[in-house]
Amino acid sequence: MSAQESLETEHGPRPGTTLEPAAGTAEIDINAPGVTRFDLVREGARRDGIEIVVYEPRVEPGSRLERRTERSVALLFALAGLAGAAFIVAYIWWPWEYPGTELNAFHLQRFYTPVLGVTLGLALFLLGAAIITWVKKLLPHEVAIEQRHDGPSAEEDQRITAATLTNVVDESGIMRRPLLKGAIALGALPLAVIAAAPIIGGLIRDPHRPLPEMEAAGLDLSPQDHTGWHPALNDGNPVRLVHENGTPIRPADVAVAGQVTVFPGIPRGTTNYYADSPALLIHLRQEHADELRGQLYELNEGSMYGNYVAYSKICTHAGCPPSLYEQQTNMLLCPCHQSQFEILNNARPVFGPATRSLAMLPLALDDEGYFVAGTVNDAGELVGSDFKVPVGPSYWER
C-alpha cells in the first residue's frame, strides 16, 4: 500500500489527517485509475481557485464513538418529532374555550397557549440541537482557501461538480446511517405538519360557518360579520355591558375621565369564545364629550350616551388590545406596535402602523339603568346594535 493510500479512503482522508497544499498547479488526470472521489473533490476545488488545506474527519467510520454519536443525534431528532407531535395534538384537541365566568377556578384552557409555546419551542430547540451535534461531531472539519476567479466552467468540471455534490451527501453519513434516516423522518414529519397548522385549523372547522347560536336564531352570518354584541345572541334584546365577572355596569360605575373594559353580557361573553368583543368604556369630561360629538363620523352619530363612549379594544393593525388610556391627551395607545388613537376624533389613528379608526359601540341604557349596546330610534324604542363596522385588523371581505 502506498503512502497516499494509507492516508486516504474512498471517501476522503482518514481521521487525524491534515493535508498539505498541493505542489504546483498541475491538474490531475481525473480518468486515471486509483483516483478517489476525494481526489475529484479536491481537484474541482483547486480548479475553482480553492485549496483544501485541512480536512479532518472527526470519527473513524464504524467506530464505537461514531455509533454512540449517531444514537445521540437520532435521539434528538426523535424527541423533536415527539414534541412536534405533541404540538399538533394540543393544537387540535386541547380545550381552549373557557367555560363560564369562574375566574379563579382551575381550567385546562388556561394552559392552551403555554402548551403550544412550550411544545413548539422544544421541537425547534431539539431539531437545532440535533443538527448542531451532527455538524460538530460527525461532519469532517475542513479549512479551505479560495482565490477569486472568472470564467465559464469546462465540460470536465461538470463531472467534478457531480462528484463534489455526491461527496457532500456522503460526508453527512446519511447513506450509511439508517438510524439517522429514520430519526430525521420521525422528527421532520411532525414539524412539517406544524407549518401547515393554520390550514389544518381551517379544515377542522370552517371559519365562515355561522356560530351555533346564530344558526339557532336563523341567521346565516359568518363570525367575521358580527361580535358578541349582536342582539340575536340575546334573544333579540340589546346586550348589556358587563365586567369580566359578569356584573352589569351603570353610568355611576365609571368615574369622570375613567375607563373600564366591558364584555357582552351573554353566555360565554367574557371568554375567548367572543374574543373579538371586548370594548373600552370611557367617561369623558364635559368639554371633551362636546368636542367628540361635534366631529362624529356619520356612522357613529347617536352612538354616544351622554359623556360616555365605547370603542373596540381590538387594534386595527394586528389585533392587540389598545388599552393604555392617556387622560391628559385623550389618546389611546396600543402597546404592541405603538399605534395611537385620538379618542376625541372617532378613535382615528394618528401615529403608528394602524390605518383605520377603532369601531365605536353604540351605547344606551335599559329600563334598569344599565348600559346596553344599542340606540334609541325616532319612536323612542331601544334597539340593540352591534359594532357598525368590522372590528380588528383591516377587514378583507367588505
Return the SS3 of 3. helix
Domain that holds residue 252: 213-384
Question: Which alpha helices (DSSP H) does 94-154 contain, by range?
Answer: 112-137
Assess if residue 2 is contained within a domain.
no
pLDDT tens track for 80-92 = 989 989 998 888 8
Q: What CATH number is associated with residue 238?
A: 2.102.10.10
Q: Please check whether residue 174 is in contact with residue 180, taking contact to mean a CB–CB distance below 8 angstroms.
A: yes
| Most confident option among 50-54, 159-163, 261-265 | 261-265
Mean of pLDDT over the chain? 82
Assess if residue 366 is contained within a domain.
yes
Return the SS3 of 392. coil
Whether residues 334 and 291 fall in one domain: yes
Max CA distance (Å), the chain = 108
Whether residues 128 and 223 fall in one domain: no
Tell me the residue type at 34.
G
Structural domain count of the chain: 2
Whether residues 338 and 365 fall in one domain: yes
Share in percent of the chain as helix, strand, coil (round to 5): 40, 15, 45
Whether residues 194 and 235 fall in one domain: no
Whether residues 238 and 93 fall in one domain: no
Question: Which has more confidence, 25 or 116?
Answer: 116
pLDDT(183) > 60: yes
Average pLDDT of the residues in 348-377: 93
Residues 6+ apart with CB under 8 A from 76: 126, 127, 129, 130, 133, 183, 187
Percentage of the chain beyond pLDDT 90 is 39
Whether residues 132 and 85 fall in one domain: yes
pTM over 0.75, yes/no:
no
pLDDT tens track for 41-65 = 888 788 777 888 888 888 888 888 8
Assess if residue 291 is contained within a domain.
yes
Whether residues 378 and 233 fall in one domain: yes
φ, ψ (nearest 5 deg) of residue 44: -60, -40
pLDDT(260) > 60: yes
Residues 6+ apart with CB under 8 A from 301: none
Average pLDDT of the residues in 172-185: 70
Whether residues 237 and 109 fall in one domain: no
Assess if residue 306 is contained within a domain.
yes
Assess if residue 284 is contained within a domain.
yes
Residues 6+ apart with CB under 8 A from 63: none
Whether residues 83 and 188 fall in one domain: yes
In this prediction, residue 2 carries a pLDDT of 39
For 46, 50, 58, 179, 355, the CA distances from 19, given in Å and listed in that order, are: 13, 14, 14, 31, 62
pLDDT tens track for 18-31 = 555 444 445 777 78
